Structure 1
């Protein structure tokens, strides 16, 4: 029987990678739904290749253009409330790969419609884990993380208890600025910040890698997903990006999880339920294993890492504030309205504001509260910049 699948954010890098995997095994999959924000041309192309009957496109202009195409036998929707019309019963698998905080609402809404969800959206996990986890329990939906680091931990923990973990180390490549001196950071151009040495990613996440804020987010994700304390998590710089996580257990055993620098591997395994279906990968790279070159993070060069010290183990709005503020600041950098170093400088100023400190102590709310907070954070950042 064919696996019934939906892909949220099918025109992004994760969505495209998943589609390439499915194309090689089309006979075993029935794609029920594809979604995008504005790239309707790519969405049409994907729908035709995979014979998809339902499309959601959020941007109003793109929606109107798509409707004018008059595609026969394809239902076109403009919002996520359409899930109730599209899914008559639970499907087998959902990939949630919409970037940014906009991925939270559809992720929460689709959980009840699927037996299993793979989440590649950091913001959903960081800002809405309390909402997502509640839906998992309510609808008995299985969850798989897709980030290479978190999937590696997830994979390594099979047959082990989380209570047996002493420490987890997440690896960081160091990003595109790893070999550039801090003195030159003020003059870093967008083209430099988005040129990741190992991974092909979108502009925003590439900038996060350049500031190493991406790794702060991954620490927060790991804390939430695996129910750990922040002092059980650490970061090691590993430029080759061959090892993705190291787990030290209380019994003295250590697991080092490595795979090719290729997102196909965690995506493939999340799709096939770790059934060890064949996937073509490179041979073990002995040279990389011989020169793993782990180092501690230089927090003077990458001060964003220090934000982890600001976070508490209890559930609060602190992590959400960090995500929303960083989103706004990176966007301003990409619009050439800020210098690269302003991203961290203004973020530090924000979290030191008295009303932000008070707000960070409060418990996380629902989706509407998080969206409202986004607007509030934007106003605060504009005040700081002025």
Structure 2
């Protein structure tokens, strides 16, 4: 007998590769199929109804035909683009994730996602069961925060400061300070007694960092070069550089940072989206100045999800409005390609999220 539980699924698929070129909406195709069967789940499988989708620069690498760290299985043409999402389980063949479970998970750019192998110990889908209070938005913490301030960007900010070993009274500088990670790093660093300086790409973002998120100072890197700005804003020197930009600014900071300073390398957005790699010239200063250059990737620090420390530390700050976390939330999965391209080009402030459906 034919299934009577087929659901229509709109999704964004990879239509062509960008490789070394700038990403445009031509790399994507939006299509709709009647292909989700709620009766089709087998043991170890689940079907998700996707609610929110995070747009992140690192996913750009899946638009390269070869190379990079992205597995070939996540770079195939005509497959759904992917990202971190918040989803509700609507059909389940897994005792770990029963129907009604609310998850943070690597999912497709689509309304519904059918996952297999969810009971495997390697957790290749990055599944995290959200706490019951994630559903409660009455205290001013939207569910979308679980892929932003309480999700991967939040973990990156929270754990990154721990890896840096920041100390009260020191000065930290953040490139791309208005982004999903930087804005939280700055505000958490202020809570820990640091002087916080950030850079952003528009005057509006700079004002927001200082007036709403209480950075000590910020500057527009398109209007003033980093060396000049830091000489003006941090005459006492910079002790820590939280780097999500890389390239020329990283090269400058190797020269500018104080003796025995620390640099945390989290990302290199300046080198993405078809940009040529910038030749770093100041590497010799790492030894000469005793600078520590530390690498960071969030999945080395998942214990802060598991033990609840990120949630128990940051959520109360959000509830009490002691942290102002800026999200840009756009409706409709079909609009994801346009917003993904705009995000790569730095047109938005804060964390960029697509709302797909209501809980």
Of Structure 1 and Structure 2, the greater strand share is in 2
**Larger RCO, structures 1/2 (Cα 8 Å, 6+ apart):** 2
Normalising by structure 2, what TM-score? 0.30
The structure where helix makes up a greater share of residues is: 1
